[in-house]
Structure 1
Amino acid sequence: MLAVLLSDDPTNSSGPMNTALLIIVLVLTMALGAFPIVGTAVVANALAEDLTMSLTLFGAGVAVNTAFGAVFAPISGRLSDRHGGKWSCVLVLLSSGIGLLILACAPSASVLIFGLFVSSYGQGACNPATNKLVAERAAPGHRGKMTGIKQSGVQLGILLGGFTLPALSIWLNWRVAIGLYAVLAILVAALTAVALPDSRDRTQSSFPIDGKSSTLQLPRSVSLIALYALCMGCVVGGVGRYTVLFAENALNMSNVAAGLVAGLPGGIAIGTRIIWAHLAEHRIRPPVALAVQSSLTALVMAMLCIAVAVGSWIMWPVAVISAVGLNAWNAVAMLYVIIGVPQQASGRASGRVVMGFMTGLTVGGFLTGLVADVTGSYGTAWASLLLLSLIATFLAWQSGKARFS
């Protein structure tokens, strides 16, 4: 049985039930906070046909979600510091649930895009909210494991969406399928509000919220990790959106094989995120772990650069290495924020890092496609992302010097 101790506090029992409830809230907040963009991607064909949306318009809707997620991330971080992790998670779940409900009922493309805008708060706030909850309630020495578990919630949401939405869309329709997840998010919000103990009293007694926390200067390492997240976000956005197209068009892989190559890293990353976060708390300093992960990402990009020359077989090792680096670094970055800044500023620091990641995610996918269109191949795009991976490695090392000098 998984054992994760809660912070030593008389108001918060560290019994199995409370620990299980905390893990459920963390995992589902991460899974459902990011689910609107996952769900719409899975049912994209049926959705676009029903609402007569072009691929360009659909892409614009996705960009609205990630772009405003970047805008809301620092705002949500401040709200997390002020109101605590529990109520921040409730707000994330309500944002996702209401946004999904709008998507399910959307009569037109413009209403669908509005739903993606409403849910963008949850997209940008899920990390600051859950990071705050971990900082408040997980005991030192157990935060790495807890962070890895909750970061795997995003991958769990992707797997659930991929397995359930197509079947539900066939049996019922895509609107009902999305609507069921909207109801789930709202129910989890209610469960969190009613059942999860509030740790604000303890936080406020230990760190009085008198305005000083909002003006507390964050360590320079936070800004460096935010830049790291920007670079890695660009890589995630580019690779995530174009792996299948690259495998099919440039390497002549079947649609099934290309889909497996794209989906395999996410499945493996459920485990690698937990392992990396645990190692980063107990064995390897977080900046060193981040540098290793971005170096592995650079290796992935180098392999993609030569893929056309060597053949499609190389995509399978690419998928495995991606699961260790490209798809797992987020867990270490979030842990770095949780253990690297004072608890009363953990939300604000998380918001800054997430803003960098969401900005990179938005820009990276667009620029990768643009470069591929202009040059007529993916080579230059992959080389550009290789360079960004190397820059991220340099930033990780610099953050270590700033943090531990």
Structure 2
Amino acid sequence: MSAAAEHAPRRASAGLLVVLVAAMGVGPLLNYGLSAVSPLILASLGMSQSQFGLLAGAVFASAAVSSFSLGRLSDRAGTRTQLVLIFGGTVVALVIAALAHSFWVLLAAVIIAGPAQSISNPTTNRVIVTSVPPHKRAGWIGIKQSGVQASQLFSGLFFPAVALWLGWQGAFGLAAVVALGLLAYGFTQVPSEPAKPRSRARRGQGGSLPFSVWLFAGFAFFSGLGMQATNVYLPLYAVRELGFPLVLAGAAAGVSGIVGVSSRIVWGRRMAGGARPSGLLFALALGAIVGVACLLGAGALHQPWLVWAGVALHGATVLGANVIMNAAVLVVVPPERVGVASGVLAAGMYTGFSLGPLIMGVLADATGSYDVGWLSVGAGYLVCAGLALWLRRYGATHPWTSFSH
């Protein structure tokens, strides 16, 4: 047994889990905050909707570009250094947003926020594989991944309320103070450790990654494409196509986030019980296809109730994909390569995130409706189902190690 495994039970404290949840949730604070107070920002800075959409694409593109290098860095750098990159990078981005008086300054802020998001998965995965007993890892993955949806819920309440008090720029400034406080708390829970020597890191990174990691990355790309296209355009679709009031349309997105928090914990428990990742991902892809069919049918058949079914399935399926894939990565790669493998997953996911809203918007503008866009999202989920079957065939000759042992 390795030294990391021997010390894992002692180091796997509740405080450490809180830090991991916060590390996953703090990075998206800027993009969720921008969405939450978007009417105020557009009116204040005179921005167009297309410019605002570019902000969302830029943050995910920045995250995708930096994923590979930061994934490798996470295998070598100390945990505290990585917390500074995550929380400190977010603080800088939030402060710049708080001082923004033009679109270009906001664009600089989201580009800075991208790397803080892309390193969060490699960092938290590496902490779990080195500090948490094997039988608890999948459950911890599920809980820490729910930090993203918790951040979405927090932002939806925090930013509008504070903006009424301090203005939208003041809201981002106060959010920066919150992120700085979380960094300070993280330092109390994560022990100081030396960085790994470069020579050791290079030896650990020799050779190619297992083929399953690339299959997971493909699944992350196509599921991320559909996930973010839905997240961005669902409220607008509900208002324009179904006549929902703005508050009700926002509530639909909120329901998705609430279901997403629960689903990520449930998927983590299924992995902890020894379920095969390929089987779970296949079921998830089928559920996502049914969910997007509900969203498409809501507008085509003029049945608003189908939106709620589609939203629930979106939260229960696609939002849980990252839990399954990140938990599986801890099994198929050695501990010293978890960071670089997680970086590959993050690159696939964030590339999908950046392209999904763009494709959906272009198709909506070109056709005058969302139907073709929903069909494209469904096609992406169909590809996900095929990748899950491919993964299952691969796993027949490369069996998965059960998380329950």
TM over 0.5: yes
SS at match of 1:327: helix
Identify if the C-alpha distance between structure 1 residues 75 and 210 changes in structure 2 by more than 3 Å, giving closer, same or farther: closer
Deviates more, 1:149-158 or 1:167-176: 167-176
Alignment equivalent of 2:6, drawn from 4, 9, 13: 9
Please name the residue that 1:230 is paired with: 221
Please name the residue that 1:280 is paired with: 271
Alignment equivalent of 2:99, drawn from 105, 126, 132: 105
Deviates more, 1:181-190 or 1:157-166: 181-190
Matches of 1:148 and 1:210 in 2, distance apart?
28
Q: Say whether the 8 Å CA contact 2:9–2:132 is kept in structure 1.
A: no
Matches of 2:218 and 2:99 in 1, distance apart?
38
Please name the residue that 1:3 is paired with: none
Alignment equivalent of 1:400, drawn from 387, 392, 399: 392
Alignment equivalent of 2:155, drawn from 154, 161, 176: 161
Shift of 1:195: 3.9
Please name the residue that 2:111 is paired with: 117
Q: Say whether the 8 Å CA contact 1:36–1:119 is kept in structure 2.
A: yes
Shift of 1:8: 4.3
Amino acid at match of 2:24: M
Alignment of 1:184-263 (within 5 A): 184-198=178-192, 209-263=200-254
SS at match of 1:217: coil
Q: Say whether the 8 Å CA contact 2:57–2:357 is kept in structure 1.
A: no
Alignment equivalent of 1:324, drawn from 297, 303, 316: 316
Q: Say whether the 8 Å CA contact 1:73–1:124 is kept in structure 2.
A: yes
Amino acid at match of 1:341: V
Alignment equivalent of 2:356, drawn from 350, 364, 380: 364
Deviations 1:349-392 (A, max 9, x none): 11111111111111111111111211121111111111110110
Deviations 1:42-92 (A, max 9, x none): 111222222222222222222211101101111110010111444323311
Amino acid at match of 2:41: L
Please name the residue that 1:289 is paired with: 280
Shift of 1:304: 2.1
Matches of 1:81 and 1:327 in 2, distance apart?
26
Matches of 2:305 and 2:331 in 1, distance apart?
40
Matches of 2:157 and 2:113 in 1, distance apart?
22
Q: Say whether the 8 Å CA contact 2:5–2:130 is kept in structure 1.
A: no
**What TM-score does the superposition give when structure 2 sets the normalisation length?**
0.92
Determine what percentage of the aligned residue pairs are the same residue. 29
**What TM-score does the superposition give when structure 1 sets the normalisation length?**
0.92
Deviates more, 1:285-294 or 1:217-226: 285-294
Deviations 1:202-251 (A, max 9, x none): xx69x982512222311000001101111001101211111112112112
Please name the residue that 2:336 is paired with: 344
Q: Say whether the 8 Å CA contact 1:219–1:403 is kept in structure 2.
A: no
Q: Say whether the 8 Å CA contact 1:220–1:403 is kept in structure 2.
A: no
Q: How many residues matched?
A: 394
Shift of 1:163: 0.9
Task: Provide the alpha-carbon RMSD of the alignment.
Answer: 2.1
In structure 2, runs of 5+ residues without a counterpart are 398-405
Matched, 1:355 2:347: yes
SS at match of 1:345: helix
Shift of 1:255: 2.0
Please name the residue that 2:77 is paired with: 83
Deviates more, 1:353-362 or 1:56-65: 56-65
Identify if the C-alpha distance between structure 1 residues 144 and 77 changes in structure 2 by more than 3 Å, giving closer, same or farther: same
Shift of 1:401: 2.7
Shift of 1:119: 1.1
